[in-house]
Amino acid sequence: MLYINGTVCLSPQPTSDTSVFLPEVKEYHSNKIFCIDVDYSKFFDAGSMRRMGRIIKFGVTAGILALKDAGVETPGAISTGTGYGLMDISQKFLNSVIDSEETIVSPTSFIQSTHNTVSSNIALMVGCHAHNNTFAHRGFSFESVITDALLLGKEGFDNILVGAYDEVSDHSYRSMMRMDMLRAEPCSNLKLFSESHCGTIAGEGAAFFVLAKQKSDPTYGTIKACKTFPAPADANDLKRTVLGFLSDNGLSPKEIDIVLSGHCGDAKADRLNNILTHDTFSEQSILAFKHLCGEYMTATSFATWLAAKMMKTQTIPEVLYLENRNREPRNILIYNSLKANHSLMLFANV
C-alpha cells in the first residue's frame, strides 16, 4: 500500500487546477477529443518549447505540477507509462528522412521521439538521478507503472513519481478506426452512454501522482493493489477473477463502495462491464469516466485521478454516475478493459 500525496491531471476536461474538482464539464461533438493546454511558457523556455512535441509538453508539465502539489522537490524514483508513446514525433522524423531522400536531416525529431523522453525530461528538470523507468505495455502501461511503484515501495523507495501520457496522433486515430473501435460519425461525449452504438471516442491525457510510504497533509488516499489479466472467457470467469482479487486484499464485494467502470459506449466492448456491475456490484455506486477523457491506452490514469480527488473531497461529480447514488467514496475499485487487456485497481480512503 502507498499513499497518494499529490496528483495533477491534464485532460480534455478542466482538471489542471488542483484547488477544484471538475468545476465544469466540457461537451464535445466529435469522435476524438484533445487535452486542454495550459500555459507551457511557465515551465519551458522558448527554445525548448520549439523543439518539444505537444505530448512532451503536457506530459512533463503534469509531472512537475504533481511534485508541486505534493510539496516534493526531487522524487525518490520516476516511473511512467504510455501506450503509443511519441509515435507522432517518430513519424515526423521518418517522413523527413524520406523527403530528404535519406540524406542529412535535423536530429531533433529523432532525439525527442523515444517513449522515455517525458520521464527523462522530468528527471533532468528536478535533478532526479535514481530509478527512472518507462513502460510501453499497450493497455497495461499504467498498471505496470503502479505495480512497479508498489514493488519500489517495498524496496524502500519513497516519494515515487508515477504517471501516464498518451495523445490522439494521426497514427493512433487511424489504428483505432481500422480496428472499428471508434464511432464513424461525430457524437456528444456527454451522451456516450445514452444509446447503444458501435464504437467509442478517442481521447488523450496525462495524469501524474506522487506515491509515498507515509501519510502527509496533502494525502488524497491510498492505493492498495493492482492486477492485470487477459480477456476472460466469459462473465463467470471475470467474476471469479474479481472476487479472487478482492479476497486477496481482505475485502468482499459488499465492502466496495464505488466501482469506476471502463464503460466506453461501445455496446460490444461494454457487455462484460454491464454483467459485472449488474451482478456482482448491484448495490454499489457505478461510475463511468471515458465520456470525459475518451478511450486511450492509459485512460486508467484519468480514472485514478478521479478516485484520488473523490477520496480527498468526499464528493462525487454528478456527471460520473451510471447507476446508484447511495454510496460514499471509501473503498474504490477500478475495472477497465481495452481489447484483451483487463485490469483491476483498489483504492481506500484514509
Judge if 2-212 and 221-348 fold alike in CATH terms: yes
Concatenated DSSP letters for 147-169? Answer: HHHHHHHHTT--SEEEEEEE---
State the pLDDT at residue 35: 97
Collapsing DSSP to helix, strand or coil, 259 comes out as strand
Concatenated DSSP letters for 79-142? Answer: EEE-SSTTHHHHHHHHHHHHHTTTS---SHHHHT-STTHHHHHHHHHHT--S-EEEE--GGGHH
Chain centroid to CA 290: 10
Q: Are 142 and 88 in contact (CB under 8 A)?
A: no
Chain centroid to CA 243: 24
Residue whose cell numbers read 474504490: 332
* Architecture category of domain 2-212 in CATH: 3-Layer(aba) Sandwich (3.40)
- The domain segmentation of the chain, as residue ranges, is 2-212, 221-348
State the pLDDT at residue 122: 97
One-letter amino acid for residue 271 of the chain = R
State the pLDDT at residue 171: 85
State the pLDDT at residue 196: 72
Alpha-carbon gap, residue 68 to 82, rounded angstroms: 22
221-348 CATH choice from 3.40.50.11540, 2.40.30.10, 3.40.47.10, 1.10.10.10: 3.40.47.10
Q: Are 12 and 34 in contact (CB under 8 A)?
A: yes
State the pLDDT at residue 9: 98
The phi, psi pair for 53, rounded to 5°, reads: -75, 165
C-alpha cell read off for 57: 509538453
CB-based contacts of 289: which residues, under 8 Å, 6+ apart? 260, 262, 299, 302, 303, 306, 320
From first to last of its 350 residues, the chain has per-residue pLDDT tens of 999 999 999 999 999 999 999 999 999 999 999 999 999 999 999 888 888 889 999 999 999 999 999 999 999 999 999 998 887 777 777 887 888 878 888 777 777 778 899 999 999 999 999 999 999 999 999 999 999 999 999 999 999 999 999 999 888 999 999 999 999 989 999 999 987 789 999 999 999 999 999 999 889 999 999 999 999 999 999 999 999 999 999 999 999 999 999 999 999 999 999 999 999 999 999 999 999 999 999 999 999 999 999 999 999 999 999 999 989 999 999 999 999 999 999 999 98
